[in-house]
């Protein structure tokens, strides 16, 4: 799964490098794994500005601007928080696109509303934030690997839609993504 994530990350890099756009992350339960996957690709400094590991609610509110009311009403493991983390990362890191991950990886910490294995992934830009929910528990390490891989895959699909979709009329070969020069 790690190898697949790196391949997907390379494709993200190629798209962002070719378009001149930037990416950032806001991670809770994955603790920087998404960022690590992105920066494993040579040349990532051309498009990846950074990531915020917001493991506590305090960091979510202070650095990402997540509403304390949202955290209290919905908990940190919620769609609403994942959305606000994306928006907060875009603002704090001054990037065009962002990925967020918040969840309960286990082996403890689950609740009735968000049992272990519940992970919300947010991704998008300043105009549109989408979310995806993972709900199965495969054990901490696998939960984190799945969340990282899914976050990268969702962002890649979003970028393809936004960037290749915008050029589809002008480029008859929109699937051909140039390799990043390093």
Number of domains in the chain: 1
Q: Read off the pLDDT band of 85 (50, 70, 90).
A: very high
CA distance 130 to 123: 6
Residue 109 lies in a domain: yes
Residue 80 lies in a domain: yes
Question: Which range of residues forms the domain containing residue 117?
Answer: 2-167
Across the chain, mean pLDDT equals: 91
Q: Is the pLDDT of residue 176 over 90?
A: no
Residue 162 lies in a domain: yes
Residue 179 lies in a domain: no
Q: What is the pLDDT of residues 130-162, one digit of tens each?
A: 999 999 999 999 999 999 999 999 999 999 999
Residue 65 lies in a domain: yes
Q: What is the pLDDT of residues 86-123, one digit of tens each?
A: 999 999 999 999 999 999 999 999 998 999 999 999 99
Reported pTM: 0.89
Residue 110 lies in a domain: yes
Q: What is the pLDDT of residues 37-55, one digit of tens each?
A: 999 999 999 999 999 999 9
Q: Tell me whether the omega of the peptide bond preceding residue 62 falls within 30 degrees of 0, making it cis.
A: no
Residue 66 lies in a domain: yes
Residue 163 lies in a domain: yes
Q: Is the pLDDT of residue 168 over 60?
A: no
CATH number of the domain encompassing residue 115: 3.90.950.20
């Amino acid at each position: 799964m790690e190898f697949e994530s790196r391949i997907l990350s390379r494709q993200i890099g190629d798209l962002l490098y070719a378009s001149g756009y930037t990416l950032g992350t806001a991670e809770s339960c994955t603790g920087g794994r998404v960022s690590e996957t992105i920066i494993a690709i040579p040349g990532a400094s051309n498009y990846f500005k950074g990531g915020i590991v917001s493991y506590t609610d305090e960091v979510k509110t202070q650095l990402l601007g997540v509403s304390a009311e949202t955290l209290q009403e919905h908990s940190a493991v919620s769609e609403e928080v994942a959305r606000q983390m994306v928006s907060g990362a875009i603002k704090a890191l001054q990037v065009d696109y962002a990925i967020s991950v918040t969840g309960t990886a286990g082996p403890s910490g689950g609740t009735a509303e968000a049992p272990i294995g519940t992970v919300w992934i947010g991704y998008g830009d300043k105009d549109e934030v989408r979310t995806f929910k993972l709900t199965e528990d495969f054990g901490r390490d696998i939960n984190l690997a799945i969340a990282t891989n899914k976050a990268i895959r969702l962002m890649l699909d979003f970028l393809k839609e936004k960037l290749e979709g915008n050029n589809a009329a002008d480029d008859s070969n929109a699937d051909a993504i140039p390799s990043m020069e390093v």
